[in-house]
Structure 1
């Protein structure tokens, strides 16, 4: 009854008390509270109202503490019984506190890779950037499908090598897979589930050979641009290609653009967010404004400048959605494959390098072209120079737009 009184008092933000049986004097007890029952068994009560039974004993000359359980789940009689049993173990040379720690450790070592992945998703992946979440998330599924049932402590470097060989992905994707596995088992090592990261020492070049040469961005020539302007494509795709050239934005920025972001009176597009961080204002040249206005007549009542026509995709996004991330690239690829124009195979991202290179050829400074592409300036300058170069970018994009407009005119 006394223990229950103390527990209720702390739970009600009151001080526990004890009455002297002879003098009837009431004494206020300090919290946290620790009261010995004898032979090392101690009742403890924290300020938060957690009551526990602790067995204190000495082992190897040092004081040890073993938590037997919480009160009132474990009553006084049961706590005394367990304490007697543990003291027998101690008298025989045992160390029950160390045994309990080892048992907890072994429970962690019984984790499967699937459970480790769940823990990693919850504690690490959720705080990473969206693109990293996408890449790691894709490869975590591959790891789970292949190694999910294995105990984390049993995973060896051979399992990681076998995983990479089984997935048989291209070089760059295999690198992402190895990187994901390395970060996953780094998390396991941090939790003391493994003594060392099984990915340590694995070299992708030893498994797949040297990394293939990185594809260089190409610049379409003036002749190729003229062919591109006469491409036999869906009109929305033709306009999308022109806008990528005229604004030098990333394809994701264009396909996710909404009409509310455009101020035609000021000829400005306010991009809310970009790959490099905060959003920025993009000056719109005369031909870009004209292309946008034409696109407006084709987009209907959609909020997006490039709306999806696929009913399934629109339903997935609540009735209105931008085009698929691959739509523009697929349209370009289809045109090149089917019509075989006299043009090198290129991607939407190559249109950015095309814009930059031609602007440089038109006499526009390097730093201004970098800012037109929304690239950060290198080194210390990129840290301290917060000027947006808006007027300089407007002039540069106007020069570039006029050049594109000349190429768009029918050739005599």
Structure 2
């Protein structure tokens, strides 16, 4: 439990920190010296945060009284944050958290954490307690220019832009100052392109190099399977034997769970978005060779470290020319060159989010048949 003396004597540190009282109530101390009372609670199974107010405007006893009021509301199913937002003037942090709560279900868990984390690090400590309607473009520009890293500053500005856009139709602000300063920040860096071989001959040469490079057998097999299936390394490392199944035509395929893919949170939660990879004869041979290393049905097929395949590529003489993720670019480039009419199917085979309702363009059986033809052709490129 906190005391008045502990609250008064709390000093700022290089990083924000919390002093806990009880029942979810805590004092948030920002590097700027700002002290604010906050309440962490759960409602309908979700964790939420209520910003009660600043110290010394609200003393310890007052914060506890408001905590008790909020707890009473929670007990009858009411969300105290919603009530507080309706009654109190909105600070930038309150508006930002309201926007975040309204959007978070659209994002993956990792992206949601990145969004709120960037605001908590760069914006809330310095300007979170400011009335959002009083913030102008000059103040936001000064905030953003103080952020180390041009790309981080750009992302935070985009999030502020979305917050002000969210606040305008709700009558919390009249203008969107974040929209006015986009051109004042450093331009985005050129996108990073993963080194990748882009011809059939170079792809075959790279595959042979990794197949013959000195490494533990399971690492060597994992690198070959990655090349043959053109999946992301993360999906490969998470793969278990129970994900290997037989399709309607009696042919083997790999069903990658949606949770292991680069998707929004909503899509990750649905088996409808599992990704199906038909396995070529060469890929099946690699699996059979790997079975002796992890034969349990629920075990990982390739129990390897995060950097194992990348280090194997370097050992094979591919450093600077071709990385593990580059197989996806190789697959796309080589097959699009050889089969230009299959562009959509090639993108689908890579689990890319193609614009339009591509899945409805052909049924599941035809979809798998087209993908199987692509992966068979790709295996011929690599092993032929």
- Please state which band the TM-score falls in when normalised by the shorter chain: 0.5 to 0.7
Count of aligned pairs between the two proteins: 279
Residue 282 of structure 2 contacts residue 379 of structure 2 at CA under 8 Å; is this kept in 1? Answer: yes
What is the distance in 1 between the residues matched to 2:373 and 2:105? Answer: 42
**Aligned positions of 1:52-131 closer than 5 A:** 108-109=88-89, 111-130=90-109
**What 5-or-longer segments of structure 1 have no aligned partner?**
1-103, 310-322, 407-412
What is the distance in 2 between the residues matched to 1:144 and 1:196? Answer: 20
Match of 1:391 among 361, 369, 383: 369
What is the distance in 2 between the residues matched to 1:120 and 1:250? Answer: 32
Residue number in structure 1 paired with 2:119: 140
Residue number in structure 2 paired with 1:267: 252
Match of 2:146 among 166, 191, 198: 166
Does 2:218 match 1:239?
no
Residue number in structure 2 paired with 1:282: 277
Q: Tell me: higher relative CO, structure 1 or 2? Use CA pairs within 8 A at least 6 residues apart.
A: 2
Residue number in structure 1 paired with 2:325: 349
**What 5-or-longer segments of structure 2 have no aligned partner?**
1-83, 268-272
Q: Secondary structure at the match of 1:344?
A: coil
**Aligned positions of 1:396-407 closer than 5 A:** 396-406=374-384
What is the distance in 2 between the residues matched to 1:342 and 1:153? Answer: 55
User: How far has the Cα of 1:393 moved from its partner?
Assistant: 1.9
What is the distance in 2 between the residues matched to 1:332 and 1:139? Answer: 31
Residue number in structure 2 paired with 1:215: 192
What is the distance in 2 between the residues matched to 1:340 and 1:229? Answer: 9
User: How far has the Cα of 1:284 moved from its partner?
Assistant: 0.8
User: How far has the Cα of 1:267 moved from its partner?
Assistant: 1.2
**Aligned positions of 1:175-190 closer than 5 A:** 175-190=154-169
- Note closer, same or farther for the CA distance 1:168–1:106 as it changes in structure 2 (3 Å cut): same
Superimposed CA distance per residue, residues 315-342 of structure 1 (whole angstroms, 9 cap, x where no aligned partner): xxxxxxxx7xxx2xx44554567x5825
**TM-score normalized by structure 1?**
0.56
Superimposed CA distance per residue, residues 132-151 of structure 1 (whole angstroms, 9 cap, x where no aligned partner): 42442332323224433333
- Note closer, same or farther for the CA distance 1:105–1:372 as it changes in structure 2 (3 Å cut): closer
Superimposed CA distance per residue, residues 286-318 of structure 1 (whole angstroms, 9 cap, x where no aligned partner): 221232234343346583525777xxxxxxxxx
User: How far has the Cα of 1:362 moved from its partner?
Assistant: 5.4
Superimposed CA distance per residue, residues 49-82 of structure 1 (whole angstroms, 9 cap, x where no aligned partner): xxxxxxxxxxxxxxxxxxxxxxxxxxxxxxxxxx
- Note closer, same or farther for the CA distance 1:160–1:298 as it changes in structure 2 (3 Å cut): farther
Q: Secondary structure at the match of 1:212?
A: coil
Does 2:335 match 1:359?
yes
Does 2:271 match 1:291?
no
What is the distance in 2 between the residues matched to 1:216 and 1:183? Answer: 28
- Note closer, same or farther for the CA distance 1:384–1:165 as it changes in structure 2 (3 Å cut): same
What is the distance in 2 between the residues matched to 1:137 and 1:285? Answer: 43
What is the distance in 2 between the residues matched to 1:239 and 1:138? Answer: 38
Residue 333 of structure 1 contacts residue 345 of structure 1 at CA under 8 Å; is this kept in 2? Answer: no
Q: Secondary structure at the match of 1:199?
A: helix
User: How far has the Cα of 1:235 moved from its partner?
Assistant: 4.2
